[in-house]
């Protein structure tokens, strides 16, 4: 049974990743057709697109009455994005120069959203439906603020040439990718739950590691691609925006569908590490307005430390 669940998990995770990649590609094209600014694309469209796997995982787990799997996935994905994913992107880019004015608000909201999740859970020992509404409200306030400021940034030209055919093609890819995400996420949740039982592990740990790694690969691929074509700040913008979307919109939706409860000790260890990772990431970005290879290596080592602590605590 263990081998069967593992095969199902690996295959479904592969489909999930491929669907996420094509969703990112299609939304990139669609954003260009609409002439949306790079700033808005990085902080809204790309962040939301790369968080869609977490969204479908969350909805599926909540509908199955097992929202703790989604909580583990979100915390694990946030830690991965802030450490090893960003670390690999920095090493690949060599050096990333940042413009503090563009990312200041996003950085602050990222930190606030993580602290808010921890406070809400500690107060009620769960994320209730009211907590879910609060988190979603924070997301929409964030989105409104970004679109309010979008006129400050230059807009890309709307792509022409075979526009009708191209738009239909990428819209079709977008729909197919969404279907692939929905179907594969169901298989990921079911097989991961089976693995948790077979391995006698808390389901939040399965979400923290196995599922979060599968669902953060689109962020890694987009970040490396953006860096290689000269949009290094967009890669970091996607990381910041993804953490905000995960911590507010995704967790909020899951909590509304089904209140999120889990073992407090397991949550607090991983949540504190998420907060520490966010603080270190925040400090690196704020110091010198650039990210270099040494900082990328440091972020990767932080994730290795997290894995060691989690398994030691277990």
For the stretch 244-290, pLDDT in tens is: 998 999 999 999 999 988 888 878 888 898 999 999 988 888 777 77
Which of 76-80, 128-132, 160-164, 308-312 has the weakest average pLDDT? 160-164
Phi-psi label, residue 161: left if phi above 0, alpha if psi -120 to 50, beta otherwise: left
**Greater pLDDT, 286 or 240:** 240
Average pLDDT over residues 146-163: 53
Which residues, other chains included, contact 254 with Cβ-Cβ below 8 Å and sequence gap of 6+?
Answer: 58, 59, 61, 62, 67, 70, 71, 127, 132, 260
pLDDT score at 195: 73
**Greater pLDDT, 181 or 4:** 4
Q: DSSP label at 289?
A: T
| Angle, alpha carbons 74-121-79 (nearest 5°) | 30
Nearest one of 224, 248, 219, 263 to 145, comparing CA atoms: 248
Residue with tokens 């000790």: 265
Using DSSP, state whether 291 is helix, strand or coil: strand
* DSSP letters spanning 151-185: GGSPPPPPP-SSHHHHHHHHHHHHHHHHHHHHHHH
Distance, CA of 55 to CA of 49 (rounded, Å) = 10
What are the tokens at 226? 């953006």
Phi-psi label, residue 95: left if phi above 0, alpha if psi -120 to 50, beta otherwise: beta
pLDDT classification of 210: cutoffs 50, 70, 90:
low
pLDDT score at 153: 45
pLDDT score at 218: 72
pLDDT score at 297: 92
pLDDT score at 136: 94
Distances in whole angstroms, Cα of residue 170 to Cα of each of 162, 164, 176: 12, 10, 10
Average pLDDT over residues 216-238: 73
pLDDT classification of 313: cutoffs 50, 70, 90:
low
What are the tokens at 90? 């920095």
Say how many CA atoms lie within 13 Å of 42 toward its Cβ: 23
pLDDT at 151 over 70: no
pLDDT score at 207: 63
For the stretch 285-308, pLDDT in tens is: 877 777 888 999 999 998 888 878
Residue count (the chain): 314
Distances in whole angstroms, Cα of residue 190 to Cα of each of 4, 57, 214: 12, 10, 15
* Secondary structure tally for the chain: helices H, strands E: 14, 2
Which of 34-43, 128-137, 171-180 has the weakest average pLDDT? 34-43
Percent of the chain with pLDDT over 90: 15
**Greater pLDDT, 278 or 142:** 278
Q: For all residues of the chain together, what is the average pLDDT?
A: 79
Distance, CA of 202 to CA of 204 (rounded, Å) = 5
Long-range Cβ pairs for the range 65-68 (8 Å, 24+): 65/258, 66/189, 66/193, 66/203, 67/254, 67/255, 67/257, 67/258, 67/259, 67/260, 67/261, 68/202, 68/203, 68/204, 68/207, 68/260, 68/261, 68/262
**Greater pLDDT, 81 or 226:** 81
pLDDT classification of 156: cutoffs 50, 70, 90:
very low
Supply φ then ψ for residue 258, to 5 degrees. -155, 120
Distance, CA of 60 to CA of 186 (rounded, Å) = 6
pLDDT score at 154: 45
CB 38, CB 231: distance < 8 Å: yes
For the stretch 7-17, pLDDT in tens is: 887 888 788 77
């Amino acid at each position: 049974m263990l081998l069967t669940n593992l095969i199902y998990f690996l295959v479904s995770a592969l489909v999930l990743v491929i669907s996420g990649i094509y969703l990112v590609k299609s939304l990139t094209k669609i954003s260009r057709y609409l002439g949306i600014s790079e700033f808005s694309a990085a902080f809204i469209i790309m962040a939301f697109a790369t968080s869609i796997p977490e969204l479908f995982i969350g909805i599926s787990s909540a509908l199955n009455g097992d929202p703790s799997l989604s909580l583990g996935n979100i915390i694990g994905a946030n830690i991965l994005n802030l450490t090893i994913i960003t670390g690999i992107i920095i090493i690949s880019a060599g050096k990333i120069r940042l413009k503090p004015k563009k990312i200041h608000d996003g950085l602050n909201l990222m930190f606030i959203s993580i602290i808010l999740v921890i406070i809400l859970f500690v107060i009620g020992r769960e994320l209730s439906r009211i907590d879910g509404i609060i988190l979603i409200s924070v997301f929409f306030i964030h989105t409104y603020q970004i679109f309010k400021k979008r006129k400050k940034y230059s807009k890309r030209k709307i792509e022409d040439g075979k526009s009708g055919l191209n738009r239909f093609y990428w819209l079709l890819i977008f729909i197919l990718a969404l279907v692939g995400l929905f179907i594969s996420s169901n298989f990921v949740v079911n097989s991961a739950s089976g693995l948790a039982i077979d391995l006698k592990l808390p389901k939040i740990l399965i979400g923290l590691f196995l599922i979060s790694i599968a669902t953060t690969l689109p962020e890694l691929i987009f970040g490396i691609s953006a860096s290689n074509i000269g949009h290094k700040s967009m890669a970091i913008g996607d990381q910041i925006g993804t953490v905000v979307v995960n911590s507010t919109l995704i967790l909020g939706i899951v909590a509304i569908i089904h209140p999120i409860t889990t073992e407090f000790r397991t949550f607090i260890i991983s949540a504190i590490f998420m907060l520490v990772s966010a603080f270190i990431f925040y400090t690196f970005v704020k110091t010198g307005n650039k990210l270099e290879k040494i900082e990328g290596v440091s972020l990767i080592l932080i994730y290795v430390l997290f894995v060691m602590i989690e398994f030691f605590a277990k």
